[in-house]
């Protein structure tokens, strides 16, 4: 009898994401097994239970998906699972905590497309600011943009210490230099926008981060991308489906364009489906993180 495909959904938190479960089923998996409150120390044992129970042919239809909210922990879990493999007993593993890797990859790739199409430049040497930069999506966005060559600043709404701590961790883990700051007032935000080429808005849903008055101070802004789909949207004047529409309130940067949350979300959805299908269909085991997500997003846009 043909073996069914199984995805083991590993999560260090209380609940597995319904979004991830729906996506894995739609990608073609027959069976999904959720695990909650998983610790890093438990990953190796769970991995070896998964690989030794199905035989060399069964492991090709078995994978592991790592969720949660902490992108550093997700990367550690991915590495722990990889180290626990015993070839030929080896399964594919994908990490996408809170959808941060696929969302960030889609956002950075969409903005890059507009930079190249309308301004004939990439990220190399560009100044990028990530509002909400200490959240999962924001930090992943910052790391991807920095690896692509942007001079990237992460912004925390309340705490400079928090931003500095995340920047330090990013340097240790990924070898990128992130600048860190805080911006609680419109004046703080306007100061950051004054010489920014790119803005990524990755703050919590339902919070407007950049209003018209702040955008009016943007002098060299080229592209602004927002992932907030819950009103009020993160950037005033950017509509949900905008993909390169004029950024109406950035009057001092007359050619600036915006990218809305659903435009980014369309690429994110297709990207996560593509990566999940890769874990299901690949002849050889794959280990997918934000770097693979960005490669895939670039192809999709």
Which residue, of 78, 95, 112, is where some domain finishes?
95
| Residues 110 and 191 grouped into a single domain | yes
Q: What is the average pLDDT value for the chain, to the nearest integer?
A: 96
Residue ending a domain, choose from 95, 120, 142? 95
Q: What is the number of domains present in the chain? A: 2
What tens digit of pLDDT does each residue of 40-89 get?
Answer: 999 999 999 999 998 888 999 999 999 999 999 999 999 999 999 999 99
The answer as to whether 293 is a domain residue is no
pLDDT tens, 19-29? 999 999 999 99
Residue 144 located in a structural domain: yes
Are 70 and 175 members of one domain?
no
Cα–Cα dist 145/90, whole Å = 32
Q: Distance of CA 13 to CAs 103, 218, 221, 257, 287, Å?
A: 20, 39, 38, 38, 22
- Determine the Cα–Cα distance for residues 299 and 211; give it in Å rounded to an integer: 32
* Integer Cα distance of 197 and 96 in angstroms: 28
**Does residue 117 belong to any structural domain of this protein?**
yes
Residue 61 maps to a domain: yes
pTM of the model: 0.97
CA-nearest of 257, 256, 265 to 228 is 265
Backbone angles phi, psi at 251, to 5 degrees: -70, -30
163 and 253, same structural domain?
A: yes
1 pLDDT more than 70 = no
Res. 177: pLDDT tops 90? yes
Residue 289 lies in a domain: no
Give the tens place of pLDDT for each residue, 118-166: 999 999 999 999 999 999 999 999 999 999 999 999 999 999 999 999 9
Q: Is residue 14 part of a domain?
A: yes
| Residue 2, pLDDT score | 80
Query: Is the pLDDT score of 254 beyond 90?
Result: no
Show the domain range for 76: 6-95
pLDDT at 4: 94
CATH number for the domain that contains residue 70? 3.40.50.10280
Task: Examine the pLDDT at 252 and tell me if it is beyond 90.
Answer: no
Q: In this predicted structure, what is the pLDDT of residue 56?
A: 84
Looking at the fold, whether 28 and 118 belong to one and the same domain comes out as no
């Amino acid at each position: 009898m043909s073996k069914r495909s199984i995805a083991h959904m590993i999560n260090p938190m209380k609940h597995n994401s319904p979004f991830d479960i729906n996506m894995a089923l739609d990608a073609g998996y027959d069976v999904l097994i959720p695990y909650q409150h998983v610790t890093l120390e438990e990953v190796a044992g769970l991995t070896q239970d998964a690989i030794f129970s199905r035989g060399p042919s069964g492991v090709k239809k078995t994978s592991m998906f790592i969720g949660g909210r902490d992108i550093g922990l997700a990367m550690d879990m991915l590495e722990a699972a990889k180290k626990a493999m015993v070839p030929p007993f080896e399964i594919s593993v994908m990490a996408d905590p809170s959808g941060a890797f696929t969302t960030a990859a889609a956002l950075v790739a969409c903005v890059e497309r507009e930079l190249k199409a309308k301004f004939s430049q990439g990220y190399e040497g560009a100044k990028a600011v990530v509002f909400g930069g200490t959240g999962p999506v924001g930090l992943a966005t910052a790391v991807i943009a920095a690896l692509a060559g942007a001079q990237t600043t992460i912004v925390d709404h309340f705490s400079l210490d928090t931003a500095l701590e995340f920047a330090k961790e990013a340097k240790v883990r990924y070898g990128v230099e992130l600048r860190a700051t805080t911006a609680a007032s419109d004046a703080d935000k306007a100061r950051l926008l004054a010489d920014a080429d790119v803005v990524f808005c990755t703050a919590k849903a339902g919070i407007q981060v950049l209003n018209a008055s702040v955008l009016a101070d943007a002098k060299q802004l080229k592209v602004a991308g927002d992932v907030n789909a819950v009103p009020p949207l993160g950037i005033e004047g950017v509509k949900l489906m905008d993909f390169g529409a004029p950024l109406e309130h950035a009057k001092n940067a007359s050619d600036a364009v915006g990218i809305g949350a659903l435009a980014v979300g369309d690429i994110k959805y297709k990207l996560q489906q593509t990566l999940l299908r890769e874990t299901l269909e690949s002849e050889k085991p794959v280990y997918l993180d934000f770097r693979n997500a960005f490669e895939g997003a670039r192809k999709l846009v």
